[in-house]
């Protein structure tokens, strides 16, 4: 039996924990409920066992969207839209369906990948999970969306990069399967942010210079003073308010945050230290110029496929340098951009061009 890994959620636990100190009882209760139910879901595979057999056969990434009707028991959810069905009255259903389609098409057209597992894995989404649930997550076989509490968070289907981020965890699981703790976990989170940003930029046809590089800009209600959950361009600046404090993400190894490898410690800071490789990708994309999903995306994607479950920042940086040479040539503009980007976040490349492709 494979080991059970933590649930991959979009909302960092430190934000939900800070909301427990809010003066607003409704905000406190929604945050507490989200923390408790998310904790219960971590490692739970009973739901997957009940429904996996029905939708396990490859089908060219066909989409199925279910309505939980505010229940937390997914097997009771109702199928409301399938592949080739017309839009329905529920906007959340349509947003999830369209977000799945955009992500699937992106991976097919850009990386020639057939769905999440590369073999046509069905894309299953569940909307309206629970009541005032402030999260969205990938559990290894499906994606689940909360509606938000309406006070701090809105419906999580409203952000394409959040959808692509969570499906990105599935891509990682079926390639390197990076362990979800400490540096490998932060790299796991970063690769999903990279996926989310690329899919959004591709859908909007934005160049690296035109993009905002924000993750989850749509998840907060208008009353919340915050740009997004994270900024890849400037980690540590996505939010700064009384409700949940200042964005703790570092943008350099000198500011790496040491946290315990526990749930309360965000599994060693996976949502926090991801800011370092996030900034590196932003610097590569803007350093090369053009579209992030072209040379930068291919370098990162090939490096993901060449990684292992325990790959950390240094090894991944070295791999991106080697892959840049393999794809575009030693001492190419692309390879030099990779080297410079990692240097700017405090990671010096430790391999040489002669090792390209041998990692």
Give a yes or no: residue 2 inside a domain. Answer: no
CB burial of residue 338 (10 Å; 0-12, 13-18, 19+): buried
Instruction: Determine the Cα–Cα distance for residues 285 and 110; give it in Å rounded to an integer.
Output: 16
CATH number at 229 reads 1.10.390.10
pTM of the model: 0.92
Mean model confidence pLDDT for the chain:
91
Residues 120 and 236 in one domain: no
Catalytic residue among 128, 151, 165, 166: 166
Residues 199 and 83 in one domain: no
Give a yes or no: residue 3 inside a domain. Answer: no
User: Mean of the pLDDT values across residues 179-194?
Assistant: 97
Q: Which of 142, 173, 204 is a domain's end point?
A: 173
Catalytic residue among 181, 271, 294, 326: 271
pLDDT > 70 fraction of the chain, expressed in percent and rounded: 90
pLDDT tens, 39-93? Answer: 666 544 434 433 344 444 556 789 999 999 999 888 999 999 999 999 999 999 9
User: Mean of the pLDDT values across residues 107-132?
Assistant: 96
Instruction: Name the more confident of 258 and 4.
Output: 258
User: Mean of the pLDDT values across residues 326-344?
Assistant: 98
Instruction: Determine the Cα–Cα distance for residues 346 and 353; give it in Å rounded to an integer.
Output: 20
Q: Is 83 a catalytic residue?
A: no
Residues 140 and 90 in one domain: yes
Q: How many domains does the chain have?
A: 2
Tally helices (H) and strands (E) across the chain. 11, 10
Domain extent at residue 117? 8-173
Residues 344 and 196 in one domain: yes
Q: What is the pLDDT of residue 38?
A: 72
Residues 262 and 308 in one domain: yes
CB burial of residue 134 (10 Å; 0-12, 13-18, 19+): buried
Instruction: With a cut of 70, say whether residue 3 has pLDDT above it.
Output: no
pLDDT band at 352 (very low <50, low <70, confident <90, very high): low
Q: What is the pLDDT of residue 291?
A: 98
- Select the highest-mean-pLDDT range: 31-45, 102-116, 341-355: 102-116
Q: What is the pLDDT of residue 40?
A: 66
Residues 144 and 230 in one domain: no
pLDDT tens, 302-324? Answer: 999 999 999 999 999 999 999 99
Q: What is the pLDDT of residue 265?
A: 93
Q: Is 271 a catalytic residue?
A: yes
Q: What is the pLDDT of residue 36?
A: 83
Q: What is the pLDDT of residue 61?
A: 87
pLDDT tens, 198-257? Answer: 999 999 999 999 999 999 999 999 999 999 999 999 999 999 999 999 999 999 999 999
Decide: 231 and 243 in contact? Cβ < 8 Å.
no
Q: Which of 139, 173, 207 is a domain's end point?
A: 173
CATH number at 80 reads 3.10.170.10
Residues 233 and 156 in one domain: no
């Amino acid at each position: 039996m494979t080991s059970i890994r933590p649930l991959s959620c979009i909302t960092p636990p430190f934000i939900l924990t800070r909301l427990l100190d809010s003066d607003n009882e409704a905000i406190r209760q929604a945050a507490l409920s989200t923390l408790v139910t998310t904790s219960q879901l971590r490692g739970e595979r009973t739901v997957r066992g009940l429904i996996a057999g029905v939708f396990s056969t490859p089908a060219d990434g066909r989409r199925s969207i279910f309505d939980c009707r505010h229940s937390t028991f997914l097997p009771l959810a109702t199928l409301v839209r399938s592949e080739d069905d017309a839009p329905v009255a529920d906007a959340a259903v349509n947003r999830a369906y369209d977000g799945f389609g955009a992500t699937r098409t992106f991976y097919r057209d850009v990386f020639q990948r057939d769905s999440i597992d590369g073999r046509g894995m069905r894309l299953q989404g569940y909307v309206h999970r629970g009541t005032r649930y402030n999260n969205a997550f990938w559990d290894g076989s499906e994606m689940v969306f909360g509606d938000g509490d309406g006070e701090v968070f809105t419906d999580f289907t409203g952000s394409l990069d959040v959808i692509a981020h969570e499906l990105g965890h599935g891509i990682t699981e079926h390639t390197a399967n990076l362990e979800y703790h400490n540096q490998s976990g932060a790299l796991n989170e970063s690769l999903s942010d990279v996926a989310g940003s690329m899919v959004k930029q591709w859908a909007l046809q934005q160049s690296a210079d035109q993009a905002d590089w924000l993750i989850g800009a749509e998840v907060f209600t208008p009353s919340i003073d915050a740009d997004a959950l994270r900024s890849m361009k400037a980690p540590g600046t996505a939010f700064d308010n009384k409700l949940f404090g200042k964005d703790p993400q570092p943008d350099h190894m000198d500011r790496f945050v040491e946290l315990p490898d526990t749930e309360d410690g965000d599994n060693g800071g996976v949502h926090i230290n991801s800011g370092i490789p996030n900034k590196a990708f932003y610097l590569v994309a803007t350093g090369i110029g053009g579209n992030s999903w072209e040379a930068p995306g291919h370098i990162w994607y090939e490096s993901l496929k060449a990684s292992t479950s325990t790959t950390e920042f240094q090894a991944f940086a070295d791999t991106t340098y080697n892959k840049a040479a393999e794809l575009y040539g030693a001492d190419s503009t692309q390879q030099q951009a990779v080297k410079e980007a990692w240097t700017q976040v405090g990671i010096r490349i430790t391999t040489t061009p002669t090792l390209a492709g041998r990692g």
